Chain A
């Protein structure tokens, strides 16, 4: 009897030695084993997390270092024996059990490139249902589900789709923004590496709904594994008839391609991404015209984030009502939160909107990794606000965050302990903007550089009152005057740092560390 063992192929796991672990397992196994390279369940503190299929279920061991494999095998790992690294049945772990996995339902569970696995775990149900409905009804379903763009802006996906669907024309596109550049975010990558077919299915549904025939997945070059996996998955899907000129025999034509970025953060901004896809320099376009009307190569184009598109199959298979039933207020469905930074248990946590940040960080994240008190949390990437430790009792939903001067963004949560110098973090925000600005608009191109200089002057105690006023004016100019969210949001971390951690900006405060 062959024992099935799962060793993740996710690049986080691989960076921790998953490949060696798999090799060692083949070497040392005392019986025939079949190793499946699955995606990661998202419990990154346990990676490489090896799972053994037993009668009880999939028993997990982690983190498994390559050198520990022989000992584990000897200790009866392949029978699911107890061990200090044994985490028990993975599906029963509170971390897993407490999640509501829609996007990530198959990530970690299946072989990402196995079409049979995909089908066996509910794959294509959504697409099949879509193809049997009128495209307009698909758009309506997505609209009713309340799904909003997961890239950060939170724009209702159905509205965008409806715009594209409403323009007649021979050539329309569906583009997936997988240029996941925000610090502390990795959900897009893990989905593409762990369950690429879901993204393909979501894009195909979008294509059907809006009348597009061609799609692009724009993946940042820093994600070579995701690029490889997506490309392979597209090849498999084409062979399976899930893509191509007659998708699932429905007559739908949809061809999908992967394009790789060149290292610019700004290409995560949708119009810069379109420019890059067209082979041009990644530079932000002024809107209007909006991409839904004048998008890729001037054609109507759906641009959605990976998580948005990956939510679609679940919406179509489970129905808009079920999806809409999750979440709170105007934030419906689930969001894939990513815990990172100074945190004890980092990883993916998909849950309905509405859980408080405090719960997420403390209950699931386990507080700081350093064990020191939390001082600040940045949510939504490098342009998100810093929330002070006493401000974490905030329900995670778009409007509540906006009201607190913060943003949910792409769901990245980065935790800092009490050693952090918040003036340095404010400076970093400007520096990041200066580094990553496309250079098109003046407030961002010149303003970010001046922002760094002004913060330096403040920290050095040089005319602090005047320079703080100047910094305030600059933040206002960047917020109100920038062409895109890059320059427009850079003041958010700066202002939040000024608001919550003003002391750090005096020379004395800066010397706190």
Chain B
């Protein structure tokens, strides 16, 4: 489509049943109570001139362009700040208003560069538009008066410039930074004519700015402008698509000139983000066209050989022949594959279909294994389905928000902004985390309780909270009686004295009284919502903890309506979707066990193939079986297991043992070093399909450009299956979704047509819920009754010892993403050029470590070197690092310990020692 300009109604919507009817310029209009006159006018098709108003921000009333006249009222009120009233008669165009508006524009233009024709915002400038609309014909003040034309340009941010000479002081950027993003990095400095936008008195890059782009988005002029637009010019067409970074799944307008992507602009109608963005989605898309991209298939006999570029037919034939050969020699079960949480649902679906139907086994797993597999297990056991219960919007109705083992401001920034908005409105916050994450105390937000627990003691803490709820009589009995089962057994267990806050204090390090207070707040503070991340799942009791949270939510009646729920914050863009699509070795699409004859029969019928009724190998089992010799070939789609999986030495040994490793990826990643076939993949800009975000929202991913590799990833997979003798063919990805819908009851109502019509839907989407399901378990639980499961705390085997006295925990930061394959190939490296080890000053001092020193981090399985940063965000005894850079190799030190139920690795707890890098080791 041509460049999409979304309508701007000036002020935000006011939800509510009550309506008010009025007349604007004689046109009748009925709007919700509390709506501004400006918005009412816009809804009736009349755009009142405006500059400081935009519908993502609360009305401000500063530009004075939107003045109107209202019958029976004095003066000329601003339509943005005046709420509608019943029977109001508004005039938006009168000679008096015309004169006032021209007067305002005359003032603006008397202090503005007259370089419209060469301005980067030419054609996309509201100031320019308004000059035209009000009919400004002269500036009687002249241009020689006081002005800001010599203001300096701040070009410090890698993605956008701040040209103060063009600033009209509307404060939209400042307000966006506060209201939308919640960072409050910007302010107005000085007063009167000297009022200036300021990044806290410094340049943007040195400021607290997180480069989310909200200010750029809000700026009505060219003052805050993308560097890409300055360099390339205004885009001419838009494609609405979905970000491929985290599990928030923001909708964007990809804006292009011809085939060149100029900028990504957050889409206001995007269900997940509603017009907001973060530094990654908004700006860090350069990796998609990075010269490191491999665009031609490559093969080699041995991993010590040079890569040999080949054409697609050769690569596909080579792969298929090798796979069949291995199966003929070592059995049907000797090969398997890993689906990617980065690719589309359709691409995942065809990979698992290839494995189940063409490979003829269930050796399929996904990278969710190493992140949210415990979510799948725990929520299925308790609620009956493996998904978060809420939509993101729900948080706006929460009264108590409990964040456990998640760092949303870095990991899920766009959702974090929603959460922060609600917290600023007065919702109370409980943070359960060994680290003092930013949310604990940030502008206008302070956690009521920060349960700073020892890593690995989540279950003890959640049990203690449940113990308080139960023993202090705070259980929501009517909810439990009506909606749940197995409560009595659970209650008997949780009431045991060993689960009391006092009893577990010794393990958890959290003062009992703090746990009690937090539990009381959660149980009695109104709508209580739990949001959690990998700090919950990546533990030896990850699955137990998920169930523990589900128990707590059920016991307090916090399931099944807006504002409550148990919500995983998913790491990857399509981790939800890859799980939904049958990527686990024991489950067919839609979370149905392979042993279910009826379900299997449906698939066998549709796929024309016999399917195995036994579960296949999980990723860690694949590695073990590779070393044992029973597993010989692995197909890896879009996951860098050689960098991201724990205990790297073991992974490398397994990969080396394999006869065939097929890697399908954008870049020659670490895993490709062990590969025999490299199949170049497509970036999200080339993909055509769907991603499913953490709120079960199925979003369309639309191709912005043709595949740079010449082939879609689903085509590659289908052709390999074909070459292996299994007929698989699709003309277009919508056919794949149609097949998914036909086979999967929760997706029965999903089609590309419907997604194009509605924008997105949240599964379950079927005849019962044709437009999807924002909140789950509203009437009954998916499994009928919510099930309480006792969750005994079993300490991890990984403990600090004399040799390894510190506990390492890992996480990520805002500007980088996962193993950094994408973000390291963008200007985001300006914020995080290397992984560092955060260490408490006390732990550093006793080791003679100073800020910035190179240190060696050692665990019982490996060692790595990185730079130390002194920080008191962790308690004494805990160190922290990120895993964004392969050179650091944080997973060199992580161990093979894993969640008992799902084998999700225990990334979050590793006993380590830290020491100064000695001169002898410096070579």
Instruction: Give chain A's interface residues, CB within 8 Å of chain B.
Output: 264, 266, 281, 283, 286-288, 434-450, 453-454, 466, 470, 473-474, 476-477, 480-483
Contact = CB atoms under 8 A, between A and B. Distances in A.
Contacts of A439: 169, 188, 190-195
B62 interface: yes
B806 interface: no
Interface string B88-132: 000000001001100110011011000000000000000000000
A325 B146 CA distance: 53
A447 B107 contact: yes
- Closest CB pairs A-B (n = 6): A286-B61, A439-B195, A477-B103, A286-B81, A437-B192, A446-B107
Contacts of B145: 449-450, 453
20 contacts: A283-B188, A434-B193, A440-B62, A440-B171, A441-B62, A442-B62, A442-B64, A442-B107, A446-B111, A448-B192, A450-B110, A450-B141, A453-B145, A473-B99, A473-B103, A477-B100, A480-B67, A480-B96, A481-B67, A483-B62
Contacts of B146: 449, 453
A454 B81 CA distance: 31
A194 to B, nearest CB: 32
B81 A445 contact: no
Contacts of A438: 191-192, 195
Contacts of A453: 141, 145-146
A483 B140 CA distance: 23
A466 B100 contact: no
Given A286-B81, A442-B107, A445-B169, A483 B61 contact: yes
A446 B64 contact: no
Contacts of B62: 286, 440-442, 483
Contacts of A444: 192
B60 interface: yes
Contacts of B141: 450, 453-454, 470
A121 B168 CA distance: 56
B187 interface: yes
Interface of B: 59-64, 67, 75-76, 78, 80-83, 96, 99-100, 103-104, 107-108, 110-111, 140-141, 145-146, 168-169, 171, 187-188, 190-195
Nearest to B111: A446
A400 B687 CA distance: 75
Given A288-B81, A435-B192, A481-B64, A442 B104 contact: yes
Given A442-B62, A474-B103, A480 B140 contact: no
Contacts of A477: 100, 103-104, 107
Contacts of B63: 441-442
Contact of B100 (A470, A481, A483): A481
Chief secondary structure at chain B's binding surface = loop
Nearest to A283: B188
Contact of A445 (B67, B80, B82, B195): B195
Contacts of A454: 141
Contacts of A448: 192-193
Contacts of B171: 440
Contacts of B192: 434-439, 444-445, 448-449
A123 B111 CA distance: 56
Nearest to B104: A442
B685 to A, nearest CB: 41
A442 B193 contact: no
A288 to B, nearest CB: 6
Given A286-B78, A446-B107, A450-B141, 13 more contacts: A436-B192, A438-B192, A438-B195, A439-B188, A441-B64, A442-B107, A444-B192, A449-B193, A476-B100, A477-B100, A480-B96, A481-B76, A483-B78
A481 B76 CA distance: 7
A484 to B, nearest CB: 10
- Name the residue among A283, A438, A450, A476 with the largest chain B CB count within 10 angstroms: A450
Nearest to B80: A286
B151 to A, nearest CB: 15
Contacts of B169: 439, 445
Contacts of A287: 81
Given A454-B141, A481-B104, A288 B194 contact: no
B107 A288 contact: no
B108 A446 contact: yes
B501 to A, nearest CB: 30
Contacts of B103: 443, 473-474, 476-477, 481
B64 A286 contact: no
Given A439-B169, A442-B107, A483 B191 contact: no
Given A442-B62, A442-B107, A480 B193 contact: no
Nearest to B103: A477
Contacts of B194: 439
Contacts of B81: 286-288
Contacts of B108: 442, 446
A448 B375 CA distance: 61
B542 to A, nearest CB: 41
A340 to B, nearest CB: 25
Contacts of A443: 64, 103-104, 107
A449 B144 CA distance: 12
A436 B194 CA distance: 11
A437 B188 CA distance: 13
Given A283-B188, A481-B76, A288 B82 contact: yes
A288 B83 contact: yes
Nearest to A433: B192
A446 B193 contact: yes
Given A286-B60, A442-B64, A474-B103, A264 B75 contact: no
Contacts of B61: 286, 440-441, 483
Given A264-B191, A438-B191, A286 B110 contact: no
A287 B80 CA distance: 10
Given A286-B60, A288-B83, A483-B64, A445 B100 contact: no
A482 B64 contact: yes
A450 B188 contact: no
Nearest to B141: A450
Contacts of A435: 192
Contact of A480 (B76, B80, B82): B76
A112 B19 CA distance: 55
A445 B171 CA distance: 13
Nearest to A456: B145
A441 B81 CA distance: 13
Contacts of A434: 192-193
B60 A437 contact: no
Contacts of B188: 281, 283, 439
Nearest to B144: A453
B142 to A, nearest CB: 8
A480 B75 contact: yes
Given A288-B81, A449-B145, A450-B145, A266 B191 contact: yes
Contacts of A286: 59-62, 78, 80-81
Contacts of B100: 476-477, 480-481
A483 B168 CA distance: 16
Contacts of A437: 191-193
A481 B59 CA distance: 16
A481 B63 CA distance: 9
A85 B161 CA distance: 70
Nearest to A280: B187
A464 to B, nearest CB: 13
A501 to B, nearest CB: 24
A511 B141 CA distance: 24
A496 to B, nearest CB: 20
A157 B195 CA distance: 34
A442 B195 CA distance: 11
A483 B67 CA distance: 11
A46 B744 CA distance: 95
A469 B528 CA distance: 63
Contacts of B75: 480
Nearest to B100: A481
Contacts of A440: 60-62, 171, 195
